[in-house]
Amino acid sequence: MNRIIGLIIGFLVSVSVYGQTDLKSKTAELEALKTKEKDLVAEIEILKLAELRNMMKSVGYPSSKRGLEIIEHSGMILGFNCDYDMAEWSFHMLTPDVTFGNVSRSDDFRVDEKVKCGSAVEADYFLRKEEADGTFSDDGFGFDRGHLAPSADFRWSSIALSESYYYSNMTPQRKEFNRESWADLEGLLRSVVDQEKKTFYILTGPVLNDGLPIIERSVNKLRIPQLHYKIIVDVSQDKPRGMAFLMPNKKCEGRLSEYVVSIDSIEQLTGLDFFPSIDDALELRIESKSDFNNWMTQRNANDVEPLSPFELPKDHFNTQQASSKVGTIVSIVGKVVSTKFIPKSQSTFLNLDQSFPNQIFSINIWKNGRRNFSYRPEEELKGKYIVVTGKVELDKNGIPSINVTKEEQIQIWDEEE
């Protein structure tokens, strides 16, 4: 009996030892695989950055009659103007990887050692002072260190994201511009990439000239750009197109579509020649005009940009202009992109150009007004351009609207009028 018990105990001990050995072996194997995966991911990142740089070289860096120092980093290329201590242009690729990237901003602002003539420094934007308690306080000069190539465009690459914090990639930007208007534009282009699942060329820069004001406390006497531009280009064979934005260095009150210009106009303004290596016919097609509606800029597929006010007849206004017409009786033109009918209250709501909850102009048809319609407006008008006439008022959310009481206030809009 004792012999049997001894055999059982010996068997269990051997199984336990074997199990522990096997567990250690598999754990070590898993750790080795994790290390290998990490190494492969790093190699893929480097290869991907190299591929993107080759794509930029294939279309040509912007050329200038002024001597610019070309600075090549892993994820962006800069055309640096030593006379202004800042880049005239920053060139990078915006890829669908940005949608899934999770690299956090590094905030490692630093001097770009690749710039031979010397880039801007921290003391061009603020002075850092150590307090008696050992903490630090910043004495700012009133301007943000505004990115040209935004760090968020590189959140798929820790290398490229960190490089975006070089002072060579910065310009003095007013806070309300950098944190609001400029940030909105950067976010818009990332949303285009997210929706279209394509890689686009992005060029960004300040408009530089000798007449610009100076940050007097700046150690290098940095000039303050009054205008910045950003260009997005698609050179694919199926849908080549380009679009440029020109924005003042301040809070921009208008919709981003109001700042769209042709790439040609940016070239004339800056003296730069963009995409010099692409076919002349393709370059003309891309650079001669910009069509905001030719890009997937809307979160809702039905939404459209307000009609150009220059294309409307006298006394007719687009939905964006409605806010300036509060208290007056006018005719507003726009597309019915979303509707809602509430059976209980018999109320009807129509949103023109932009859908709820991003609406910019609404039509309200209450119960008594709906009785005067020979059709169901939420069904018959959806998807159509209309002109509505009435007194513009602000609803409880501050959105311009017109209360319609009779069918005759709404007419189908004939774009040929």
Q: Which among 294, 318, 340 is the end of a domain?
A: 294
Residues 207 and 347 grouped into a single domain: no
> Could you tell me the CATH number of the domain that includes residue 398?
2.40.50.140
Q: Is the pLDDT of residue 415 over 80?
A: no
- Same domain membership, residue 269 and residue 314: no
* Integer Cα distance of 377 and 370 in angstroms: 8
- Total domain count, the chain: 2
Is the residue at 174 inside a domain? yes
Q: Render pLDDT for 238-297 as a digit per residue (tens, 0 to 9).
A: 889 999 999 999 999 888 999 999 999 999 999 999 999 999 999 999 999 888 888 888
Q: Would you say residue 27 lies in a domain?
A: no
For residues 405 and 372, the answer to whether their CB atoms sit within 8 Å is: yes
Does residue 21 belong to any structural domain of this protein?
A: no
CA 362 to CA 399: how far, in whole Å?
7
pLDDT tens string 286-345 = 999 888 888 888 767 788 889 988 889 999 999 999 999 999 999 999 999 999 999 999
Q: Are 309 and 317 in contact (CB under 8 A)?
A: yes
> Model confidence at 6, in pLDDT bands (50, 70, 90)?
low
Q: Where is the domain boundary, 294, 319, 349?
A: 294
Query: For residue 16, what pLDDT is reported?
Result: 58
Question: Residue 131: what residue type?
Answer: E
Same domain, 274 and 141: yes
Amino acid at position 144, single letter = D
Q: What is the pLDDT of residue 34?
A: 87
Phi and psi at 42, nearest 5°, equal -65, -40
Looking at 249, 266, 294, the residue that finishes a domain is 294
- Whole-model pTM: value is 0.80
HSE (side-chain half, CA atoms, 13 Å) at 392: 24
Contacts with 389 (C-beta within 8 Å, 6 or more apart), sequence order: 329, 330, 331, 332, 402, 409
Is residue 57 domain-resident?
yes
Q: Is the dihedral of CA 256, 258, 264, 269 positive or negative?
A: negative
Q: In this structure, is residue 2 part of a structural domain? A: no
* Same domain, yes or no: 181 and 239: yes
* In a domain? residue 197: yes
Span 140-155, average pLDDT: 96
pLDDT score of 58 more than 60: yes
* Domain-embedded: residue 20: no
Residue type present at position 30? L
CB neighbours of residue 87 within 10 Å:
31
* Judgement on whether residues 54 and 198 belong to the same structural domain of the protein: yes
Confidence label for 417 from pLDDT (cuts 50, 70 and 90): very low
* 101 and 236 housed in the same domain: yes
CATH number for the domain spanning 84: value is: 3.40.570.10
The set of residues, in sequence order, having a beta carbon less than 8 Å from that of 405 and lying 6+ positions away, is 365, 366, 368, 369, 372
- Does residue 11 form part of some domain? no
Is 12 a residue whose pLDDT tops 60?
no
Q: Provide the domain limits for residue 363.
A: 309-412
Q: What is the pLDDT of residue 321?
A: 92
Same domain, 364 and 396: yes
Q: Are residues 197 and 230 in the same domain?
A: yes
Percent of all residues in the chain with a pLDDT value above 70, rounded to a whole number: 94
Percent of the chain at pLDDT > 90 equals 72
295: amino acid identity, one letter: W
Same domain, yes or no, for 228 and 324?
Answer: no
Q: Are residues 342 and 240 in the same domain?
A: no
The candidate with the shortest Cα–Cα distance to 93, out of 52, 59, 57, is 52
Pair (248, 356) in one structural domain:
no
Shared domain for 188 and 228, answered yes or no, is: yes
Residue 404: closest CA among 309, 357, 339, 355: 339
pLDDT at res. 310? 83
